[in-house]
Each structure stands twice: as C-alpha cells, then as structure tokens.
Structure 1
Amino acid sequence: MAWLNKGRDWLLWLGLYLWALSGTIIVTINAVWLYWVNAHLQHLGSLVNLATGRLMTNYLQLLAYLNFPWVGKLKMTDFTDSTSALIHFADVKGLFMLDYAVFILTSITTYYFWRRLKRQQQLWRFVLPMQTALWVPPIIAAVMAVNFDQFFIYFHELLFRNDDWLFDPLYDRIIIVLPDTFFLQCFVLAILVLEWIFATYLMIGKRALKSL
C-alpha cells in the first residue's frame, strides 16, 4: 500500500501546482483594471473612434462571453467578427471553462492536502517544493525577455490547432485594441502572481519548520 500512498501524494502535489496555475490564470484574465490602464495610456479607443468608456463596455462584453457558460454567443456593441475570429474566441472560451473546472477541482484537493499536512504538523514539507517552484516564473520571464513575439507565437501554437488567432485588422478591428503590449503585461502579471503564491507557501513552510 506504500506505493498507493506515494501515488496519492504525487497527485496532491500536482493538484497544488495546478491550483496555483489555474488561479493565477483566473486572476490575470479578469484583471480589467490592467486593460483600463492600457486603454487610457495608449488611447486605444481613439484607434477605432470610440471613447474609452465605450471601449471598456465592449471589452467587458467580450469577457462576459469568455467567462460565463450561459453566454453562448459573442456580441459586442461596436465590433463584429469574422468567422475565424468567432471560432478563435470560442476556442478561448473552451480553455477558460477548462481552467475554471481545474481550479474548482484542485481547490478541493488542495484544501484537503492543506488540512492533512496541518493536522500532521507537516506544513514544513512545502519548503523544498516551493523553493524549486520559485525558479519557474523567472525562467519563463527570461525566455519572454529574449523574444516576446516568438514566445507569443509558440504560446498560441501550443494551445490552438489552427491559425484562427491570426486576426486581420481589416475584418476584426478588435485586434487593434488588443495590442501585444497588453498581452505582455498580462504575462508579467501572471508571473508575479504565481511567484507570490509560491513565496507565500514557502514562508508558511519555513514558519512551520521553525516551530518544530
């Protein structure tokens, strides 16, 4: 039965990492404030002859479609999309739904894992795994810093099996107000959030180790 317990522990650790990653994604994709900052500083609305408030309305309509299962059709007040763009946004929505499902499931397993370690006074076990995990976000950041455009392309090729993400500004004006700089900032935000989660668990583990 030892192998069974070991396998269960591996799954619980995997669940913890997936919880941190999926939670980070949720925080990042719903960082409306970040888009608002970009809309103001880059005057994105003026690129498509829209006031910033009107642009934000359209952005929130897009997020509502991507976030909520009951919103079955993408409809933005001032943007129409080509067939390929609609297919791409539907693919993105599918990934969003998967991420939410993973987060809900791993929230349960992570809570169970946490309670078990706390009850057994083994929260110190977070130390080594989190020390290792802390290296991952900086490595990703370094890869991004070398060539973000290429990184962005690889990212899409990894997640999508088609080229529908290659929008044509003539037909899909929404891409004009979704600049690469905004997506770069989203990745940076995600890296910072993920690093904070790992650092928090490391701090908890070290405190538990000192109390032994």
Structure 2
Amino acid sequence: MAWINKCRDWLLWLGLYLWVLSGTIILTINATWLYWLNAQFQHLGAIVNLSTGRLMTNYFQLLAYLNFPWVRSLKMRDFTDSTSALIHFADVKNLFMLDIVVFIITSVTTYLFFQQLKRRQQLWRFVLPMQTALWVPPIVAAIMAVNFDQFFVFFHRVLFRNADWLFDPLYDRIILVLPDTFFMQCFVLAIVIMEWTFAYYLSIGKRALQAL
C-alpha cells in the first residue's frame, strides 16, 4: 500500500503546481490594468482611430468571450475578424475553459492537501518542492530574454494545431492593438506571480520547520 500513498502524494503535489499555474494564467489574462497601461503609453487606440475608452470596450468584449462559457460568439464593437482569426480565438477560448476547470478542481485538492499537512504539522514539506520550483520561472525568463520572438512562436506551435494565430493586419485589425510587447509583459507578469507564490509557500514551510 506504500506505493499507493506515494502516488497519491505525487498527484497532490502535481495538483498544487497546476493550481499555481492555472491561477497565474487567470490572473494574467484578466490583468486589464496592464492592457490599459499599454493602450495609454503606446497610444494603441490612435493606430486604429479609436479612443482609449473605446478600445478598452472592445478589449473587454474579447475577454468576455474568452472567459465566459455562455458567450458563444465573439462580437467586438469595432473589429470584425476573418474566419481564421475567429477559429484562433475559439481555440484560445477552449484553452481558457480548460484552465478554469483545472483551477477549480486543483483549488479543492490543494486546499485539502494544505489542511492535511497543517493538521499533521507537516507544512515543512513545502520547503524542498518550493525551493526546486523557484528555479523554473527564472529559467523561463532567461529563455525569453535570449529571443522572445522565437519563444513566442514556439509557444504558439506547442499550443495550437494550426497557423491561424498568424493574423493579417489587413483583415484582422485587432492584431494592431495587441503588440508583441504587451504579450511579453504578460509573460513577465506571470513569471512574477508564480515566483512570488512559490516564495510564499517556501516561507510557510520554513516557518513550520523552525517551529519544530
């Protein structure tokens, strides 16, 4: 029976990591303040002859489509997308829905796991896994820093089965107001969130270790 307990522990740790990852994605996707800053300082609205407020309205409509399962079709006030763009956004929506499901499930398992460790006075077990996990975000950041364009292309090729993510600005003006710099900032934000989360759980483990 020992191997069953070991497998269960591995699944619980995996659930914790997936919870951090899926939660980070949700926070990053919905960081509308980050897009607003880009719209303001890069004057994105002016590129497509829209005010910042009007551009944000379109952005909120895009987020509503991506985040909410009951929004079945993408309808933005000032952008009409090509068939390939709509297919791509539908693929993105499916990934977002999967991420939300993973987050909900792992929120339950992670909470129960945390309470189990707390009840058994084993919160110190966070130390080694979190020390290991802390290396992952900096490694990803280093890879991004070498060549973000190649990283971005690789990222899309891994996640998507087609090339619909290669938008033509003549037909899909939305890409003009979704610059690469914004996506790079999203990745940086995600890395910061994950690193902070791992550091927080590491601090919990260290405090528990000191209390023994």
How many residues are matched?
A: 212
The residue aligned with 1:6 is: 6
What is the letter of the counterpart of residue 143 of structure 1? I
Displacement of 1:116: 0.4
Q: CA RMSD in A?
A: 0.2
The residue aligned with 1:86 is: 86
- Unaligned runs of 5+ residues in structure 2 are none
Equivalents in 1 of 2:69, 2:22: separation in Å? 17
Equivalents in 2 of 1:99, 1:60: separation in Å? 19
What is the letter of the counterpart of residue 2 of structure 1? A
Displacement of 1:47: 0.1
The residue aligned with 2:46 is: 46
What is the letter of the counterpart of residue 208 of structure 2? A
Partner of 2:157: helix, strand, or coil?
Answer: helix
Displacement of 1:209: 0.3
The residue aligned with 2:203 is: 203
Structure 2 counterparts to residues 163-178 of structure 1, below 5 A:
163-178=163-178
Partner of 1:86: helix, strand, or coil?
Answer: helix
What is the letter of the counterpart of residue 202 of structure 1? L
TM-score, normalised relative to structure 2: 1.00
The residue aligned with 1:112 is: 112
Displacement of 1:171: 0.1
What is the letter of the counterpart of residue 195 of structure 2? E
Superposed CA deviations along residues 43-76 of structure 1, whole A, max 9, x for unmatched, are 0000000000000000000000000000000000
Partner of 2:117: helix, strand, or coil?
Answer: helix
Displacement of 1:85: 0.2
Runs of 4+ in 1 over 2 A off after TM superposition: none
Displacement of 1:183: 0.1
The residue aligned with 2:127 is: 127
Equivalents in 2 of 1:174, 1:205: separation in Å? 45
Equivalents in 2 of 1:87, 1:72: separation in Å? 13
Partner of 1:209: helix, strand, or coil?
Answer: helix
Identity %: 80
Equivalents in 2 of 1:202, 1:23: separation in Å? 18
Equivalents in 2 of 1:96, 1:83: separation in Å? 20
Equivalents in 2 of 1:29, 1:55: separation in Å? 17
What is the letter of the counterpart of residue 175 of structure 1? I
Equivalents in 2 of 1:115, 1:59: separation in Å? 39
Displacement of 1:150: 0.2
Whether 1:25 aligns to 2:28 is no
TM-score, normalised relative to structure 1: 1.00
Displacement of 1:123: 0.1
The residue aligned with 1:75 is: 75
The residue aligned with 2:36 is: 36
The residue aligned with 1:184 is: 184
Superposed CA deviations along residues 122-158 of structure 1, whole A, max 9, x for unmatched, are 0000000000000000000000000000000000000
